[in-house]
Amino acid sequence: MTDTDRGTQRDRHSAFSLFTQQSLPACKPVLTPEWVIMTFLFIGFIFIPVGLVTLRASHSVVEIVERYDIGCVPEPFRIDKVSYIQDDSIPKNCSLSFKVPKYMKAPIYIYYQLDNYYQNHRRYVKSRSDKQLLHGQNEHGISSCQPVEVNNDRPIIPCGLIAWSLFNDTFTFIRNRAELKVNRKNIAWKSDRGHKFGKNVYPFNFQNGTLIGGGKLNPTIPLSDQEDLIVWMRTSALPSFRKLYGRIEKDLDVDDVVVVHLMNNYNTYSFGGKKKLVLSTTSWLGGKNDFLGLAYVFIGSSSVTIAVVFTLLHLLSPRHYEDTSYLPWN
């Protein structure tokens, strides 16, 4: 006796009846060996090429990473780097040079990289006021900016720990004795510039406290044009991160020697952080990262391996009919 036999004749085929009788037309995928092998092979044959292409893109990127936080501390201060960085009387300028290993096509992106810097710490992330950044002083919602919200009873613009700890190392690049022009415009997201940072909001009462955190801001430039700040305020995901500093819009040739004059102002010494300067071209996939390509290749080749193992086992071991002998069709 089948279920449809017993159903009432008149409305058996109406959609509603199919629904209430739980017999809607359905697709019922079954894990047959053929499907399994096909699926694994399919994943393999898609993933391996994609991975190789990705790897190629990654390899086409030229990246130069120079750590400078230790090298820029003069020899006598290396024992106590913190007092060096905190002592304003010591000049912080420093220079480093490197050779371009491969031809680098413009635009070349300049990043500063900080390691072991917890921009994603809860206390840090929360300490900002989006309302203030957009609308300025007439807003009162700056309590979220604790502990850097007021100074001398007047609100700070921009308030909060993030702004207060603004990164303030600066870099100038010289090639063949001529300064390489660094374009520092358009390094922040357009939506940030247009909608998160006010055009009529100017820095006010900033870095006037007893303890100076990071960089200062030019009070005559509206926040929406303070791109370093905007980039900095977009907090990083992980404790090791890069942030865009600018672009060199000229190609660099192989063996070009680039000299960087930098102001080593930012204190990463007290918490054991690292500072690096990064110059990188990009491909259609972004910067240099072999991981994605390798992962693709790995997953793809694992799938193929599984497919092969499965096929071999499938062919070599007969089905265990005795296991299912109690089933009614046997």
Partner 1 sequence: MDPPSKRTRIERRMDRIIYVLFSALILVSFVGSLLFGIETKKDGGDYGRWYLRPDITTVFFDPRRPSVAAFLHFLTGLMLYGYLIPISLYVSIEICKVLQSIFINQDQAMYDEETKRSAHARTSNLNEELGQVCTILSDKTGTLTCNSMEFVKCSIAGTAYGRGMTEVEIALARKRGETLDEQRDIDTVESREPVKGFNFRDGRIMNRKWVNEPNRDYIEKFFRVLALCHTAVPEVLDPGKIFYEAESPDEAAFVIAAREVGFQFFKRNQTSIQLRELDRSSGEIVDRVYELLHVLEFSSARRRMSVIVRNPERQLLLLAKGADSVIFERLSEEGRMFEAETKEHIERYSEAGLRTLAVAYRELDDDEYKRWEQEYVKAKTSVSADRDDLLDEKADMIERDLILLGATAIEDKLQKGVPDCIDKLAQAGIHIWVLTGDKKGTAINIGYACSLLRHGMKEILVMLEKPGIEAIERDKEEFAKAYKIVEKQIDEGISQVTGESNTQFGLIIDGKSLIFALDKNLIIRFMELAMKCATVICCRSSPKQKAIVTRWVKSKTGRTTLAIGDGANDVGMIQEADIGVGITGVEGMQAAMSSDFSIAQFHFLERLLLVHGHWCYRRITMMICYFFYKNITFGFTLFWFEAYSSFSAQPAYNDWYMSSYNVLFTSLPVIALGVFEQDFSARHCLKYPSLYKEGIDNVLFRWIHILGWMFNGVLSSVIIFFLTTNSITGQAFRKDGQVADYSILGLTMYTCVVLAVNCQMALSINYFTWIQHLFIWGSITLWFKFLLVYGSIPPTLSTTAYKVFIEACAPSIRYWLTIILVVIATLLPLFSYRAFQTRFQPMVHDSIQTRRP
Q: Report 98-137 residues binding partner 1 (CB under 8 A).
A: 107, 109, 111, 117-125, 130-131, 134
Distance of closest approach, residue 283 Cβ to partner 1, in angstroms: 7
Cβ proximity to partner 1, 4 vs 218, nearer residue: 4
Q: Enumerate residues 6+ apart whose C-beta is below 8 A from 292.
A: 51, 54, 58, 285
Considering only CA atoms, which of 132, 135, 134 is closest in space to residue 145?
A: 132
Pick from 142, 161, 217, 223 the residue near partner 1 by CB under 8 A: 161
- How near is the Cβ of 222 to partner 1 at its closest, in Å? 17
Least distance to partner 1 from the beta carbon of 114, Å? 10
- Quick one: 72 or 148, whose CB is closer to partner 1? 148
Site string for partner 1, 196-225 (x = CB under 8 A): x--------------x-xx-----------
How many residues are listed for the chain in this entry? Answer: 330
Of residues 45 through 104, those in contact with partner 1 by CB under 8 A are 47, 50, 54, 61, 63, 82
**CB-count burial class (<10 Å; 0-12, 13-18, 19+) for 85:** buried
Beta bridge partners, 67, equal 276
Question: 150-151 and 154-155: which strand pairing?
Answer: antiparallel
Q: Which stretch binds partner 1 (CB under 8 A): 93-101, 168-176, 218-226, 269-277?
A: 269-277
| DSSP character at residue 319 | P
Choice from 181, 195, 199, 216 touching partner 1 (CB under 8 A): 195
Q: In terms of CB distance, is 72 or 193 closer to partner 1? A: 193
Q: What are phi and psi of 185, to 5 degrees?
A: -95, 160
If one asks whether residue 237 binds partner 1 (CB under 8 A), the answer comes out as yes
252 near partner 1 (CB under 8 A): no
Q: Which long-range contacts (CB under 8 A, 24 or more apart) does 148-153 make?
A: 148/209, 148/213, 151/205, 151/208, 151/209, 152/205, 152/208
Query: How many chain residues touch partner 1 (CB under 8 A)?
Result: 103
- Regarding 27 and contact with partner 1 (CB under 8 A), the answer is yes
Contact 278, 110 (CB under 8 A): yes
Stretch that binds partner 1, among 13-21, 67-75, 168-176, 216-224 (CB under 8 A): 13-21
DSSP at 79: T
Rounded to the nearest 10 degrees, what angle do helices 290-316 and 33-59 cross at? 160
Task: For the CB of residue 206, give the shortest distance to partner 1 in the complex, in Å.
Answer: 15
Nearer to partner 1, 95 or 282 (CB): 282
Q: Which of the ranges 37-45, 173-181, 200-208, 251-259 carries the binding residues for partner 1, by CB under 8 A? A: 37-45
Smallest gap from Cβ 261 to partner 1, in A, equals: 22
Out of 26, 79, 178, 315, the only residue in the binding site for partner 1 (CB under 8 A) is: 26
Concatenate the DSSP letters of all residues of 89-133 into one string. Answer: TS--EEEEEEE--S-BPSPEEEEEEEES--TT-HHHHH---HHHH
Nearer to partner 1, 275 or 288 (CB): 288
Q: Which two tokens stand for residue 259?
A: 């000299």
Q: How far apart are CA 258 and CA 249, in angstroms?
A: 14
Beta carbons of 275 and 268 less than 8 angstroms apart? yes
Least separation in angstroms between residue 97's CB and partner 1 is 23
Gap between the Cα atoms of 65 and 87, Å rounded: 28
Question: Which parts of 290-309 interact with partner 1 (CB under 8 A)?
Answer: 291-292, 295-296, 299, 302-303, 306
Please state the closest distance from residue 12 (CB atom) to partner 1, in A. 8
182 close to 246: Cβ distance less than 8 angstroms? yes
